[in-house]
C-alpha cells in the first residue's frame, strides 16, 4: 500500500552571507560601474566631436573594463567566500 503524503513542500531560501553586507556591495558595485560607464560615454562623445584626444578614450575604456571586472570579482568573492 502506497501512502501519499499531503504535506506541503517547503522551499528553503538560501541566505547569502558575506564578509561585507552583500546587498550593500551590490549597490556600491552598481553605482561604481554606472559612473564609470557614464564617464566613458561622455569621453567617447567628446572624442567623436574632437574636443578631446582619442588616446583619452582608450584609457577611459580600459579603466572602465578594469574597474568593472574588479568590482564584479569582489562581489563574487564576498558572496561565495564570506
The 3-class secondary structure across 2-22, one letter per residue, is CCCCCCCCCCCCCCCCCCCCH
Provide the pLDDT for residue 64: 92
In a domain, 67, yes or no: yes
Percent pLDDT > 90 in the chain is 45
Expressed as residue numbers, the domain containing 65 is 37-81
In a domain, 1, yes or no: no
Mean pLDDT is lowest, of 1-15, 19-33, 45-59, for 1-15
Instruction: Say if residue 25 is exposed, middle or buried (CB neighbours under 10 Å; 0-12, 13-18, 19+).
Output: buried
Q: How far apart are CA 59 and CA 75, in angstroms?
A: 24
In a domain, 30, yes or no: no
**Residue 35 clears pLDDT 70, i.e. is over it:** yes
- For the whole model, what pTM was predicted? 0.71
Q: How far apart are CA 61 and CA 45, in angstroms?
A: 13
Number of domains in the chain: 1
Q: What is the mean pLDDT of residues 45-57?
A: 86
In a domain, 28, yes or no: no
Amino acid at each position: 500500500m502506497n501512502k501519499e503524503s499531503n504535506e506541503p513542500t517547503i522551499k528553503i531560501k538560501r541566505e547569502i552571507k558575506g564578509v561585507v553586507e552583500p546587498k550593500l556591495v551590490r549597490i556600491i558595485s552598481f553605482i561604481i560601474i554606472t559612473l564609470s560607464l557614464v564617464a566613458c560615454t561622455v569621453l567617447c562623445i567628446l572624442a567623436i566631436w574632437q574636443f578631446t584626444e582619442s588616446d583619452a578614450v582608450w584609457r577611459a575604456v580600459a579603466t572602465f573594463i578594469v574597474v568593472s571586472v574588479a568590482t564584479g570579482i569582489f562581489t563574487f568573492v564576498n558572496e561565495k567566500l564570506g
